[in-house]
Amino acid sequence: MSELDILRQVFGYEAFRGPQQAIVEHVVSGGDALVLMPTGGGKSLCYQIPAIARQQAGRGTTLVVSPLIALMHDQVGALHEAGVEAAFLNSSLSGEEAAQVERRLLRGELTLLYAAPERVTTPRFLAQLDALAARGQLALFAIDEAHCVSQWGHDFRPEYRALTVLHERYPAVPRIALTATADALTRADIVERLQLENAQQFVSSFDRPNIRYTIVEKKDALTQLLRFIEREHAGEAGVVYCQSRKRVEEVAAALVEAGLNALPYHAGLEAGVRQQNQDRFLREDGLVMVATIAFGMGIDKPDVRFVAHLDMPKNIEGYYQETGRAGRDGAPADAWMAYGLQDVVNQRRMIDESPAGEDFKQVMRGKLDALLALAEATDCRRVRLLGYFGEKSEPCGNCDNCLHPPAVRDGSELARKLLSCIYRVQQASGISFGAGHIMDILRGKQTEKVSQYGHESLSTFGIARDSSESELRAVLRQLIAIGAVAVDGGMFNTLQLTEGSRAVLKGEVQVQLRESVAAPAAKRNRRSAAPAAAAQELGVDDQVRYINLRAWRAEVARAHNLPAYVIFHDATLAEIARRRPQSLADLQGISGIGAKKLEAYGADVLRVVGEGS
Ligand code: ADP
Ligand code: ZN
């Protein structure tokens, strides 16, 4: 079978995505490859299709090295469903089960074998590979999550270093290494550590066009979140990231209170509970996971429709990785963040109080500033995001700023008032103060603290009487974002002038303020193609069929102990409901229905469709 035939018949997909075809062809013909593709880009097929093609050409088994035990089970399950012989070897298997997999491997029955890195480099396993290699039955090495080999990456795994043994021992076997980590330092490290100097590099755009980026000003975060979910994602799966365990618990409880199906996830939960919550998220429909960043690594659920940040992440890398978990299936998804002054202050404090060295802190502050600049941006978010990763692009039309360009106003005058106030107060009292007090002085509020320090006699007292507190906060955020004000992360979060203040005071740098814009609700409801949205667009009869199909899928998934999406994606079920197939032939060609699934489930699907008519 050609590569395209495999894509169509085995996986049921019509066409390759982006660089998949070039990668697949290169690897099938025996070349080495390093693949950099964003999360959801479709990395798995880049080695699964070559594995099938090379197996069919009589070249034997592909070994997939993967660090995530939890994921192997579902991946192998998905391959089974597609009719591909695959198995995994990891510590979750009993001795007898592992021995059975080894026998299948040696008999040449497996197209793909998934194994954890520490297993691969044991003498016992290498002896088995020797036996296969002697017969020319080692088709390909696929090294997934290849950034684990680098300590610059975020999940360094020392065991990955030992994987060079594969290349040294079996130099004739082609290798493909894959990662979603973009930065140049990590990439260079992967090449060196895995001796991939001669591998062709396939670097995809890191853009995720189906993800819509929205960053809103935090007012009442929980209410804003609830409104966002209810308006845009009722009944859909999503992840809500919070900074602390305590906040995770509170928010999860509040969502449940509001009638949503939500669960908490953080490192403080007992391991069993954590595992159970994760399993439920993967297997149930429409569950919202409220989590710290402990959650997410290796979650390849394709139909996560939104990722919300209730607290600001540490840097753009983190933001991009976390939001990247939305919309892996390519259907529209949202990355939504609420952010406010307090987030800035908190993050600064965490950096200042960390035990790291001053150099490291300086790097962290720089990264935080880049994220602040993104949050405060009045132009296209995607252009800024991609720019951060060194990619040039045009305004995207699918972020809040593109869809509802914020009215921009010159806030330079107000910014100068604010800066002079910080200066005067510092000069008069010899100490600096926090944002609240500075704003009180500017607005001429006669508070206890103002009297205590005699600040009503300052020349800046009341000079911004006409400005609202939220306006002043906006100016302050902008000033922090452009580095013209520093927040001392000590106990009192006091505000200080910086080198950058001067340029603003002199009028050399403009401060742009975005007027808060309420996103017009009507416009936003016109989404299409998202599973639930797709279902909403179905006629009443089609919807009944869709619901019946989902119920049937849930039963099958339970019986097979697999997540529902491994059986069929939502989009596939919606398409079936819409087409009302009468025969197996009608089912053919629907995206996501390969030959094996047609054979295994076709009759059942027709029956369910028939019952709904
Ligand atoms: P990654 O590992 O890069 O994050 P995956 O390999 O999990 O991404 O793929 C993401 C989703 O996209 C999966 O649900 C997969 O089935 C789907 N997919 C991948 N390639 C294609 C394609 N050519 N056509 C349609 N769907 C695809
Ligand atoms: Zn945009």
**Residue nearest atom 26 of ligand 1, based on CA coordinates:** 13
Close Cβ partners of 95 (under 8 Å, ≥ 6 residues apart): none
Ligand nearest the Cα of residue 401 is 2
Whether 265 has a pLDDT exceeding 90, the answer reads: yes
Closest CA to 79 of 50, 38, 29, 45: 45
Is the four-CA dihedral 90, 94, 99, 105 of positive or negative sign?
A: negative
Residue 318 buriedness (CB in 10 A; 0-12 / 13-18 / 19+): middle
3-state secondary structure 97-117: HHHHHHHHHHCCCCCEEEECH
pLDDT, tens only, 484-501: 888 876 666 788 899 989
Which atom of ligand 1 sits closest to the CA of residue 16?
Answer: 23
| Options 1.10.150.80, 1.10.3720.10, 1.10.645.10, 3.10.20.90; CATH of 530-611 | 1.10.150.80
Least confident of 88-92, 149-153, 418-422: 149-153
Place of tokens 């405060």: 376
Mean pLDDT across 273-288: 91
Residue 525 buriedness (CB in 10 A; 0-12 / 13-18 / 19+): exposed
Whether 181 has a pLDDT exceeding 80, the answer reads: no
Ligand nearest the Cα of residue 38 is 1
The CA 209 to ligand 1 mean position distance, Å, reads 14
What stretch(es) of the chain map to CATH 1.10.150.80? 530-611
Chain-wide mean pLDDT for the chain?
Answer: 90
The CA 374 to ligand 2 mean position distance, Å, reads 12
Place of tokens 């009638």: 259
The CA 206 to ligand 2 mean position distance, Å, reads 15
> What is the C-alpha separation between 255 and 253, in angstroms, rounded?
5
**Residue nearest atom 2 of ligand 1, based on CA coordinates:** 43
pLDDT, tens only, 295-314: 987 778 889 999 999 999 98
Strand partners of residue 143: 65, 177
Beta strands in 314-376 (DSSP E): 333-339
What stretch(es) of the chain map to CATH 3.40.50.300? 3-203, 211-339+377-405
Which atom of ligand 1 sits closest to the CA of residue 40?
Answer: 4
The CA 234 to ligand 1 mean position distance, Å, reads 25
Is the four-CA dihedral 208, 214, 220, 225 of positive or negative sign?
A: negative
Confidence of residue 162 (pLDDT cuts 50, 70, 90): very high
The CA 317 to ligand 1 mean position distance, Å, reads 22
The CA 145 to ligand 1 mean position distance, Å, reads 15
As its CATH architecture, domain 211-339+377-405 has 3-Layer(aba) Sandwich (3.40)
pLDDT of residue 611: 84
> What is the C-alpha separation between 575 and 588, in angstroms, rounded?
12
**Residue nearest atom 20 of ligand 1, based on CA coordinates:** 42
> What is the C-alpha separation between 180 and 183, in angstroms, rounded?
10
What stretch(es) of the chain map to CATH 1.10.10.10? 409-514
Alpha-carbon distances of 214 from 240, 337, 398, 401, 519, rounded to whole Å: 14, 6, 9, 8, 10
Q: Are 8 and 588 in contact (CB under 8 A)?
A: no
Residue 414 buriedness (CB in 10 A; 0-12 / 13-18 / 19+): buried
Q: Select from 76, 300, 567, 575 the residue to mutate for testing ligand 1; criterion: most ligand atoms less than 8 Å from CB.
A: 300
DSSP β-ladder status, 512-514 and 408-410: antiparallel
Structure tokens at 216: 């809103």
pLDDT of residue 526: 38
| Options 1.10.10.10, 3.90.180.10, 3.30.450.90, 3.30.460.80; CATH of 409-514 | 1.10.10.10
Task: Name residues contacting ligand 1 (CB within 6 A).
Answer: 13, 16-17, 20, 37, 39-45, 300, 302, 328-329
Q: Are 418 and 479 in contact (CB under 8 A)?
A: yes
Amino acid identity at 500: G
Q: Which CATH class is domain 3-203?
A: alpha beta
Burial readout 29-65 (b: 16 or more C-beta within 10 A, e: otherwise): eebbbbbbbbbbbbbbbbbbbbbbbbbeeebbbbbbb
**Residue nearest atom 25 of ligand 1, based on CA coordinates:** 13
Closest CA to 496 of 507, 483, 508: 483
Which atom of ligand 1 sits closest to the CA of residue 46?
Answer: 6
Q: Are 281 and 345 in contact (CB under 8 A)?
A: no
pLDDT of residue 522: 40
Cα distance between the two ends of the chain: 38
